[in-house]
Structure 1
Amino acid sequence: MILVTGGAGFIGMHTVQALVDLGESCVLAQRRDFALPRTWAGRCVTERVDLADRAAFLALGRRHKITGIVHLAGSVPWPPSTHEPLAGARMALDTLFNVLEAAREWNVDRIGIASTIGVYGGAPGGSPYQEDVPLPMTAGHVIPAFKKVGEVLTDHLAGALDLDAYNIRIAAAWGPLGRAASVFFATPQLVHAAALGTPPPAPVHAADGADMCYVKDCGRAIALLQLAPRLNHRIYNVAGGRATTYAEVVEAIRGVAPEARIELSAGRSLDGPAEDVYLDITRLREDTGYEPAYDTGRAVADYIGWLRAGNER
């Protein structure tokens, strides 16, 4: 039985689905109550718990025979306005320590810790970024800042505690259950505009883009990492493996929703980077056999179909 923290969240739901599809059972640890999909009955259970509450979290191991952990819960103090800086930092670190302590106490087979593509900001060289590129010690945003700290701590404690632990650097995930608009990339809002007639974001430049990983592929990649017979590294990129431009996204949208009126600005934004960061996924492929199942066209069609079926996001 695999514990998925944040299992009822965006990436968490798709990771649990992938684990169930691969024959696993899961415990979904959440701060809020959550009703399981009927298709998961008998395979999954939910536990409402504050991950920063050490005693309550460790007690999960007395109620369930947990054999692995995928830590996806958003323990980073975000948005910053909701946390006093020191209190937010303490909460983030306490949560990570509790997860690692639980892994040792429960003697789990493997533990995965979510990180982000944002840790590559300011890294030397250029795309595609491999996992062993040296990272700068600074970060321009609170999320990559705390994820870098978490990566270093996880790597150190994995060795000190003899844990099979790995960090997952996740690219721009999008798709069913995700936010209708992201502060980091425009694709979710573009798709919502086409599917539901909501206002498109503006301006969006045709040549801008991102390494976009459709969330169903993202969840499956994480599940494969958790279940692989052997992992040869402690850091893995989970990504599309290429930069997808907004021109490509809109072309795919028009193939599904030709009536959509979405206009893009020409070229690249003057306020953005000179090129878009994307990640090398060779390690992921070699150690798990992973291959993306959704190209841009299939992903856009799947998401528009989901939204038009009556789902809000």
Structure 2
Amino acid sequence: MSVLVTGGAGYIGSHTVHALVEAGENVVVIDNLSTGFSQFLPESAPLFIGDAADENLVEGVISAHGVESIIHFAGSVVVPESMRDPLAYYRNNTMTTRSLLNVAVKCGINRFIFSSTAAVYGNPEQVPVPESAPTRPLSPYGSSKLMTEIMLHDVASAHGMNHVVLRYFNVAGADPQARMGLATAGATHLLKIAVEAATGQRAKIDVFGTDYPTPDGSCIRDFIHVSDLAQAHRSALSYLRGGSPSVTLNCGYGRGYSVLETIEAVRRVCGRNFAVQYAPRRPGDIMTMIADTSRIRGVLDWTPRYDDLETIARHALQWEEKLFHERQADQQHAVSA
């Protein structure tokens, strides 16, 4: 029996595939490689290049590989982009999942793990924010994920599909062994941008909003190391296999760091300064987002290993330096050729 991972060649997906394979799982991946990289996957995990919305492809993979569980990452994740092109997000996130669930029901899949987001909460009334908090997304990205959560709940109720919804807070860092990390061009993740500035690939880093009612005026985020998040997916799979009921879980550490604190952590780790430019607030940005993690710590067999901002920054920097050196070597090779 196998686990199907959609979007498994992407940032979080590839880390999860490695975690599953290292735990002895048989894993098969579907990814269209629009933001993923085939070289990040272990050799033992076959990759089918295509769209998770392609019902014929998905059904064929499930049948050929004896898939019994699905972990669904495939989708679009950039808040500002979703504000500019909302229909693309409803297509890539909500409609794709509808097609995937249709095949899952047809094939009798009864375990499903969904990659959701803390953006479904909008600006929370309570911090840390519990899973029971009202869902009032401020962006089409958050709305598209919330629509999918509702759809998954309804499908599960109608067809006996147990599921885990994992609401990610701010995912950051990279594999401690530097086998993979965030490599998508034009990424908007704060720590990614900061380490690009630290390695000289950006002239500056923009801070959007310094007039929020927070201690230093910048937004506050709960960062979670991508490797810890990958292990949360592995633990969620074990949870479902144990016959436990469907559940929605926050994925964070339960502590917040401001944008300016995060930039200072990167400066300390890299030992270099880089320019910061202050800009107005962006539409769709949330002021403070910190997870109430009591439920995930009580429900899953999951203990974070990298709950430290400087460790997260160090792993992100290590990965970025590796990418930078590889690009320089490729450019030199191209010139000499």
Is the TM-score greater than 0.5?
Answer: yes
Match of 2:289 among 254, 262, 277: 277
Question: Does structure 1 residue 305 correspond to structure 2 residue 318?
Answer: yes
Structure 2 counterpart SS, 1:67: strand
**Aligned residues with identical type, % of pairs:** 25
1:160 to 136, 139, 158: 158
CA distance in 2, matches of 1:178, 1:240: 24
- Does the Cα contact within 8 Å between 1:172 and 1:213 map onto a contact in 2? yes
Instruction: Please state how far the C-alpha of 1:217 moved relative to its aligned partner.
Output: 1.8
The answer on whether the counterparts of 2:83 and 2:139 sit within 8 Å (CA) in structure 1 is no
* TM-superposition CA deviations, 1:274-299 (whole Å, max 9, x none): 95111112221112232322211111
Q: CA deviation at 1:167?
A: 1.5
Shift of 1:305: 1.4
Alignment-mate amino acid for residue 237 of structure 1: N
Cα 1:232/1:195, change in 2 over 3 Å: farther
1:226-246 CA-to-partner distances (Å, cap 9, x unmatched) read 222354442111123221123
Q: How far apart in 1 are the matches of 2:46 and 2:121?
A: 36
Q: Which residue of 2 aligns with 1:142?
A: 140
Corresponding residue of 2:178: none
- Partners in 2 of 1:287 and 1:220 — Cα distance? 14
Q: Tell me which of 214, 232, 237 is aligned to 1:226.
A: 237
CA distance in 1, matches of 2:123, 2:232: 26
Do residues 254 (structure 1) and 252 (structure 2) align? Answer: no
Cα 1:202/1:93, change in 2 over 3 Å: closer
Counterparts of 1:99 and 1:214 in 2: how far apart (Å)?
28
* CA distance in 1 between partners of 2:234 and 2:183 (Å): 19
1:105 to 1:36, Cα distance in 2 relative to 1, 3 A? farther
Question: 1:292 — aligned with what?
Answer: 304
Residue equivalent to 1:58: 59
Equivalent AA in structure 2 for residue 304 of structure 1: L
- 1:213 is displaced (CA, Å) by 1.8
Q: Does 1:210 align with 2:221?
A: yes
What per-residue deviation string (whole Å, max 9, x for no partner) do you get for residues 1-41 of structure 1?
11110001111111111111222121110124964557x22
Contact 2:128 2:292 in 1 (8 A): yes
- 1:1-313 aligned at under 5 Å gives the runs 1-32=2-33, 35-37=38-40, 40-41=42-43, 43-74=44-75, 79=81, 85=87, 89=90, 92-123=93-124, 125-136=125-136, 139-175=137-173, 176-179=181-184, 182-183=187-188, 186-196=190-200, 198-203=202-207, 205=210, 207-208=217-218, 209-228=220-239, 229-262=242-275, 271=281, 275-294=287-306, 295-311=308-324
Please tell me whether the aligned partners of residues 151 and 167 of structure 1 are also in contact (alpha carbons under 8 angstroms).
yes
| Alpha carbons 2:7, 2:30 under 8 Å: kept | yes
Paired residues in the alignment total 303
Q: 1:230, 1:287 within 8 Å by CA — same for their partners in 2?
A: no
Q: Measure, in 1, the Cα distance between the counterparts of 2:253 and 2:55.
A: 36
TM value normalised by structure 2: 0.78
Q: 1:202-257 CA deviation, whole Å, 9 max, x = no partner?
A: 34655523122222222221222122235444211112322112343234323322
Gapped regions of structure 1 (runs ≥ 5): none
Deviations along 1:69-106, one digit per CA (max 9) or x if unpaired, are 00100068994599794x86456444222322333333
**Could you state the TM-score of these two structures normalised by the residue count of structure 1?**
0.83
Deviates more, 1:271-280 or 1:238-247: 271-280
Q: For the Cα contact (< 8 Å) 1:119–1:147, is it kept in 2?
A: yes
